[in-house]
Amino acid sequence: MSVYVSSLTLKGAEPCGTDPLPRFRRETGFCILKPKGEFPPEAAENIGAETRTLPYMMQDRYPEVLSDVTLKTIVMENGFLRAEFTPGYGGKLWSLYDKENKKDLLFANPVLRPRNLAIRNAWTSGGIEWNFGSLGHTVFSCEDVFAAILKDAEGNDFLRIYEFERAKECLWQADFHLPEGSRRLFSHVKLINPNDEDSTTYWWTNIAVPEDGGTRVLCSSQDVIALGSRGSMTFEKLPYLSEMSGDLSYPINATRSFDYFFQPRKDEKTAWESSVNKDGFAFYDRSTAPLLYHKMFCWGNHKGGKRWQDYLSVPGKGDYIELQAGIAQSQVHDKLFPAGGVFEWTQCFGGTVLDPAKVHGVSLEAADEYMGTVMDNIISEADLLEFDRKFKEAAETEMSEKDIVHFASGWGALEQKRRKSENEKELPASMCFPECTLGKEQEPWLELLEKGVLTPPDPDDIPVSWMVSPKWMKLLEAGIDRPGGRNWFSLLHYGTMLFEYWPDNVPARVAYGWSEDEKKRYEIRAEEAWKESDMLTPNVWARRDLAHLEMLRDNYGGSDEYYRRVFELDAAKSDFAFCAEYMDDLCDRKEYAEAWALYESMPDNIKEADRVSILSAICGVKLGKLDHAEKILMEPHATIREGETSLTDLWFELCAKKIAKRRGIDTETCGAETLATLIEEAEENCPPPHSIDFRMSYDKKHKYRLSE
């Protein structure tokens, strides 16, 4: 067995920038669903999860056109398997090649095509990703993580990937073992809350496997939580579920994007999941507690679902489903993380050949029973628990900088320095965060730590990083009272910290119900800090935050005034984010003429930004500039969010207005009912271009039509 650094060259479009504007938690927010029907009390506990972006910036810039890119990889290989990891993309296991059967066990994406599906926007499909922290595809989806090659007690090499996660100020470490002669790859994951305060956490291993039109999903349980339409969730038993017809152990029967979460039996120590294709070839994983919950996600057997899969990969080669494994009942259940707490488990991945007649054409119960017997022969529960004991010891292996083969951010090194300065317990020795990783993003905070103040840069400069930790807020509060510490820059960041403050030591449902008086108190203090920041030195950053605050208060007059003042400063044209955000707000309020005027005032490089051009098309349809809108809708767009239907909605309205124009109908005076009828006619008879059709459902109640 060997572990070595290599590379992978393919067509791709790597992320090339971040949105400088802070994305507040009140925007990304909370997912609180309601159980429907009979629901076991234990399954209804802690329903609710949050998605938190700050202190991270959104990765929303990547080219539409693919070019040759070379990714650094780390390969683990023995006589049976070849596993290739991409440390520049969250440590994703890009491929897991089965040498015996001469096939990849995973959907190994042939291209690198980031799209808007992750917490920070950019995400790539395929492989196995390690989602930690908050609800959604991880903040590390398109980010570097540390990677080190270490030796276990027996002298065998293994791979460790790890990072410090800033939003929850916790750590994750994943060790990968591929014993000589093993047909299975093992991961041992360790999550650590190094703080003296409780927190909440999230983990889902996300496995993309090929779907061949006859793939069946099997599991050690048939009880599932299904996420339904309109924010509901049900507790049911496969293969038949109330929201959809057909045997849903076959993802091909899903008529829309769909997922369900397998619930383990009580007192279960391990759980497994498998996908089996038409010919009987199976991928499987088996995991120890607490990683006992599994999931199936599919895009759905409809035009929009196929479009998404093609869009994320290569047309005709992107069909896949996701098998996932998590530590909570579903992705919308919170997981409490006690102060000083540790969660760890072992998971294995492999492939095998089954008798297709014992999987297909039989009941799900019979297929699951057959696969369960196969799993026990491949790797029994006792065997996996013994591996878990062994890998748990290896997870304590201390490391140093010389072991690192891929470096990541300087945030762990900064946290280590803060802890030393505050006489707090150091970060675990199983993870090394060298000082050489400290860079431009950490410079302001290193200065605050060492000198006690933040020195203000040029107010036209784009901020290099944000910080929202209460620990750093305490340091900043002390710094503001020092000579030279009260300036536009320190007050800008202080306002951001105050506005983002939220109780993280309780489940999301409790945090969501945090007292309005407390929210208001922090909000007013943030507002005061931002106002003083702009008073001391006029700057677009504080003005934008004040505009955004008024928008969230539904005080649109105040919001408009602050945005007007934003665009009085040249720095507002330093990045398209200001224009895109305000145009989006104006369009939401149906202030299309004002949004179009803002668009027209922008330089070409901002007009051509993808999100700005989409918003200009909306204005075009609403204001009768149909040629402009149609031109935009015929272009490719890279920033459409999963579940977003803005382009198809706009297409149908555009077609409706073109129909009206041909018939001599004035859509400005014809009334809403006539326009709605014309739009429905367009939905029936004017199928949108394939390039803009990202609908994840064709529910006629929502006026979506399946047009071939």
pLDDT digits (tens, 9 = 90+) for 672-700: 888 888 888 888 888 888 788 887 665 55
pLDDT greater at residue 96 or residue 708? 96
Residue 641 banded pLDDT, cuts 50, 70, 90 = confident
Q: Write down the pLDDT at residue 707.
A: 34
Coil/strand/helix, residue 270: strand
pLDDT at 93 over 60: yes
State how far the Cα of 238 lies from the Cα of 217, in Å rounded to an integer. 11
How many CA within 13 A on the CB side of residue 246?
13
Cα four-point dihedral sign 174, 309, 330, 354: negative
Q: Write down the pLDDT at residue 539.
A: 98
pLDDT greater at residue 282 or residue 704? 282
Mean pLDDT throughout 244-248? 93
* Beta pairing partners, 207: 128, 323
pLDDT at 463 over 70: yes
Among 260-264, 630-634, 683-687, 695-699, where is mean pLDDT lowest?
Answer: 695-699
Q: Write down the pLDDT at residue 128.
A: 98
Alpha carbon 346 to chain centroid, angstroms: 23
Where exactly are the structural domains of the chain?
2-20+57-394
Mean pLDDT throughout 271-297? 97
Is 2-20+57-394 a domain of CATH 2.70.98.10?
yes
Mean pLDDT throughout 88-113? 97
State how far the Cα of 433 lies from the Cα of 328, in Å rounded to an integer. 29
Q: Write down the pLDDT at residue 697.
A: 64
Question: 266 near 220, Cβ under 8 Å?
Answer: no
Q: Identity (one letter) of the amino acid at 221? A: S
Q: Write down the pLDDT at residue 708.
A: 32
pLDDT at 705 over 70: no
Could you give the C-alpha distances from 440 to 140, 157, 414, 631, in angstroms and in order?
19, 34, 12, 41
pLDDT at 313 over 50: yes
- The DSSP element (H or E) to which 706 belongs, if any, is none
Listed residue (282, 358, 373, 273) closest to 324, CA to CA? 273
Assigned token pair, 684: 């029936």
Which conformational region is residue 127 in: left (phi greater than 0), alpha (psi within -120 to 50 degrees), or beta? left
Percent of the chain predicted with pLDDT > 90: 79
Q: Write down the pLDDT at residue 698.
A: 58
Q: Write down the pLDDT at residue 683.
A: 87
Residue 234 banded pLDDT, cuts 50, 70, 90 = very high
Residue with tokens 């020195």: 455
Question: 164 near 437, Cβ under 8 Å?
Answer: no
Mean pLDDT throughout 585-607? 96
Q: What is the pTM of this model?
A: 0.94
How confident is the prediction for the chain on average, in pLDDT? Answer: 93
Tell me how far apart the terminal alpha carbons of the chain are, to the nearest angstrom: 50
Among 13-17, 635-639, 675-679, where is mean pLDDT lowest?
Answer: 635-639
Among 291-295, 353-357, 650-654, where is mean pLDDT lowest?
Answer: 650-654
Sheet holding 270-276, edge to edge: 216-219, 270-276, 281-288, 342-353, 184-192, 170-177, 157-165, 146-151, 404-406
- The DSSP element (H or E) to which 69 belongs, if any, is strand 67-77
pLDDT at 642 over 80: no
State how far the Cα of 658 lies from the Cα of 633, in Å rounded to an integer. 14
**Strand blocks (E) in 458-525:** none
Q: Write down the pLDDT at residue 704.
A: 45
Question: 668 near 657, Cβ under 8 Å?
Answer: no
Percent of the chain predicted with pLDDT > 70: 98
Residue 702 banded pLDDT, cuts 50, 70, 90 = very low
